[in-house]
């Protein structure tokens, strides 16, 4: 997919912009490079076009089948029901709905459809979308025509109310930094222009930085080992967790991820195929595997808890996706029946999205495990975009 912009800025222009910054200020952290490539106004990958679907660069679960959004909506309706205070005659606080990284609004529309049928109180809540792209905001407005929507660039203006919602393939798209081990010393891994964009190495991490990167207590690592740190992701998790701890609610977090930050998991995708990280910045998707252990630590530090993660296939199976797909298939034409069953397989099969993608749940401190989260085993090996099912 080639992303067009009003200014007709192409990949060479974005490359030159980044190279000029390196010439002026020195090598960039990988996180800064990713932020420039994805989020620069008008020219960043998520700022200037629609990357989703078969005509884009990748397909997310909501675009595969509306069944995904239905099941997430049903689960959140269950959590909403569990979270309602006892009827004391006092006015109950009005909850709010949140989605981080809502894409086209497809997932929220599918959840709203379920709530409209089964949980009108939840369907009537205002929706808060964390979205920085003017282009995608326009599409979301067209998709969610019946909803009251509040858009936010960040989490600084969330309502003082319980939050129920979802972050699907959101944390993986946040900028991530690298450190690399050389002869037993962890050094910053940087982006240089010499003359082409590529990797270089910088100063050693300080003792404070080693703590921040969760590397202080790591055993000696082989030469060339890479560690990752998503500061923005941890900051966002801390804000969400503190809000949930204060006001209540439940937020599903769904992403491909693992249980530590060791290994280079950054990947670039264009037209559903992997490409070099420095290929046409601004016109390709860049993502990384989410460190769910780091997110859990942030939740705990903020007074909340992160349940899971479990594999997406396990979660969807335990909350009834198979029965829902079979029910829908019985009333469908043959072609639609095959499409429904193929979508079910893609969402739950370990060979596709079922294993690589993980599901976690952010809730206040407490006891008990909700449906879908009985198995907390997760796999830590990374796979290619094609293997994980979004190619």
**CATH of region 1-84+91-391:** 3.40.50.12710
Alpha carbons within 13 angstroms on the beta-carbon side of residue 310 total 20
Residues 229 and 30: their CA atoms lie apart, in Å, by 10
Alpha carbons within 13 angstroms on the beta-carbon side of residue 247 total 21
Task: Judge contact between 32 and 24, C-beta under 8 A.
Answer: no
- The CA–CA distances, whole Å, from 123 to 71, 116, 138, 164 equal 15, 5, 21, 11
Strand partners, 58: 52
Q: Widest CA span of the chain, in angstroms?
A: 70
Q: Please calculate the CA angle 172-22-209 and round it to the nearest 5 degrees.
A: 55
Round the CA-based radius of gyration of the chain to a whole number and report it: 21
In tens, the pLDDT along 224-279 reads 999 999 999 999 999 999 999 999 999 999 999 999 999 999 999 988 789 999 99
Task: Judge contact between 131 and 167, C-beta under 8 A.
Answer: no
Task: Judge contact between 357 and 312, C-beta under 8 A.
Answer: yes
Task: Judge contact between 212 and 179, C-beta under 8 A.
Answer: no
Task: Judge contact between 292 and 259, C-beta under 8 A.
Answer: yes
pLDDT at site 12: 65
H or E element in which residue 68 lies: helix 66-82
pLDDT band for position 221 (50/70/90)?
confident
In tens, the pLDDT along 64-105 reads 889 999 999 999 999 999 987 655 455 667 899 999 999 999
- The CA–CA distances, whole Å, from 179 to 207, 210, 231, 261 equal 14, 10, 13, 10
| E-state strands within the chain | 28-29, 96-100, 127-130, 149-152, 163-168, 177-182, 185-193, 197-204, 226-229, 249-258, 267-270, 273-275, 285-287, 290-291, 304-311, 357-364
Is the backbone of residue 365 left (phi > 0), alpha (psi -120 to 50) or beta?
Answer: beta
pLDDT at site 91: 67
Q: Is the pLDDT of residue 140 over 80?
A: yes
Q: What is the distance of C-alpha 163 from the center of its chain? A: 17
Strand partners, 86: none
Residues 38 and 173: their CA atoms lie apart, in Å, by 9
Q: Do you find a cis peptide bond into 195, omega within 30 degrees of 0?
A: yes
Residues 139 and 362: their CA atoms lie apart, in Å, by 28
pLDDT at site 286: 93
pLDDT at site 59: 73
47 DSSP 8-state letter? T
Higher pLDDT, 23 or 385: 23
pLDDT at site 387: 42
Q: Is the pLDDT of residue 126 over 50?
A: yes
Is the backbone of residue 115 left (phi > 0), alpha (psi -120 to 50) or beta?
Answer: alpha
Per-domain residue ranges of the chain: 1-84+91-391
Residue 198 CB partners (closer than 8 Å, separation 6+): 191, 192, 278
Q: Among candidates 279, 254, 224, which has minimal Cα distance to 57?
A: 279
The string of DSSP codes covering 169-198 is S-GGGS--EEEEEETTEEEEEEEEESSSEE
Q: Among candidates 26, 52, 47, which has minimal Cα distance to 271?
A: 52
Q: Is the pLDDT of residue 384 over 70?
A: no
Q: Is the pLDDT of residue 182 over 50?
A: yes
Average pLDDT, rounded, for the chain: 87
pLDDT band for position 51 (50/70/90)?
low
Count each helix (H run) and each strand (E run) in the chain, helices first: 14, 16
């Amino acid at each position: 997919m080639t992303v067009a912009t009003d200014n007709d800025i192409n990949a060479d222009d974005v490359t030159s912009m980044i190279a000029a910054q390196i010439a002026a200020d020195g090598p960039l952290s990988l996180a800064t490079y990713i932020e420039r490539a994805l989020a620069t106004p008008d020219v960043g990958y998520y700022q200037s076009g629609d990357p989703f679907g078969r005509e884009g660069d990748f397909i997310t679960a909501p675009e595969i089948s509306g069944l995904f959004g239905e099941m997430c909506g049903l689960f959140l309706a269950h959590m909403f029901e569990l979270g309602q205070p006892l009827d004391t005659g006092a006015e109950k606080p009005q909850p709010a709905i949140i989605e981080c990284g809502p894409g086209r609004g497809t997932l929220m529309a599918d959840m709203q459809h379920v709530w409209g049928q089964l949980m009108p109180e939840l369907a009537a809540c205002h929706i808060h979308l964390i979205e920085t792209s003017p282009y995608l905001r326009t599409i979301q407005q067209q998709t969610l025509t019946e909803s009251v929507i509040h858009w936010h660039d960040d989490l600084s203006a969330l309502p003082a109310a319980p939050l129920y919602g979802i972050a699907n393939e959101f944390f993986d798209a946040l900028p991530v930094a690298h450190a690399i081990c050389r002869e037993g010393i962890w050094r910053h891994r940087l982006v240089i222009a010499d003359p082409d964009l590529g990797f270089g190495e910088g100063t050693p991490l300080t003792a404070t930085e080693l703590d921040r990167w969760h590397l202080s207590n790591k055993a000696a690592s082989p030469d060339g080992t890479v560690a990752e740190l998503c500061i923005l992701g941890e900051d966002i998790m801390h804000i969400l967790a503190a809000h949930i701890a204060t006001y209540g609610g439940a937020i599903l977090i769904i992403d491909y991820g693992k249980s530590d930050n060791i290994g280079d998991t950054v990947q670039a995708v264009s037209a559903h195929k992997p490409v070099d990280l420095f290929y046409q910045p601004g016109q390709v998707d860049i993502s990384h595997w989410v460190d769910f252990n780091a997110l859990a630590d942030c939740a705990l530090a903020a007074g909340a808890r992160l349940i899971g993660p479990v594999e997406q296939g396990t979660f969807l199976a335990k909350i009834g996706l198979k029965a829902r797909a079979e029910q829908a298939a019985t009333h469908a034409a043959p072609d639609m029946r095959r499409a429904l069953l193929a979508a079910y397989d893609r969402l739950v099969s370990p060979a596709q999205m079922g294993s690589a993608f993980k599901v976690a749940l952010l809730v206040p401190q407490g006891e008990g495990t909700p449906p879908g989260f009985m198995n907390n085993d997760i796999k830590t090996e990374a796979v290619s975009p094609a293997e994980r099912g979004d190619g």
